[in-house]
Amino acid sequence: MDADPSTQNSPVAFATTNWSVVLEAQSPTPAAQAALEKLCRTYWWPLYGFVRRQDYTPEEAQDLTQGFFEVLLERRDLDVVRREKGRLRSYLLVSLKNFMAKARRRELAMKRGEGRALVPLDELLTRERADLELADSFSADRIYERRWALTLLEQVLTRLESDYRSAGSSKLFDGLKEFLSDEPGRRSQAEVASELRMTENALKQAFHRLRQRYRQLLHDEIAQTVAVPGDVEDELRHFISVLQA
């Protein structure tokens, strides 16, 4: 039987999170720049969704979102954030609203081929088509919140899958991940246990360990976007409420 990677990882540490690295840098550093770029990639899709809901075309919304992040990366506007107010989710949305209020459409358009697009337009359009019903029924703020939560969830599942595949437990992960959602038609634990040649009790224990690792990784991803440890639990609760809404 493949090894279970969930027992091979220690709890995450808060001190090395990306948001902390960015805020604590007294001047631009390679580490802070790399952390900031990662955070920007995480928030590109949620912020783009917010802009699209303001009746911009896909091309205009891409240019506007890209222009916002270009300013953010070049001017390091994040330096002005006070640490005790440093929840990236809230800060970026407020900053984008301010950016949009001050800018004019003709001043926002970036010439094609210039700048460094963080997300290709064709990728955005593919995701947007899959999200069409949501985009039509939700407000701009709700679209932003929903895509923020789904993006974090995707990152957690990607890291979790990587853990299991690195440990040679791909089949175990593929079987267990079905139980992370409540989608109708999923197989029973007995069926999955039989396929994996495990007892049902052993499968339950393996899933318990997977859920523990899943929670650790979710905590880590949330921690990347807050400035102080005390904000993590509040953001976790907000994350859950957004997905349940």
| Domain residue limits, the chain | 5-244
214 or 33: which carries more pLDDT confidence?
214
pLDDT in tens, 168-216: 999 999 999 988 877 777 889 999 999 999 999 999 999 999 999 999 9
8 Å CB contact between 81 and 225: no
What is the per-residue pLDDT for 50?
Answer: 92
pTM: 0.71
Between CA 156 and CA 20 the distance in angstroms is 19
**Per-residue confidence (pLDDT) for residue 114, from 0 to 100:** 45
User: Which pLDDT band, with edges at 50, 70 and 90, does 3 fall under?
Assistant: low
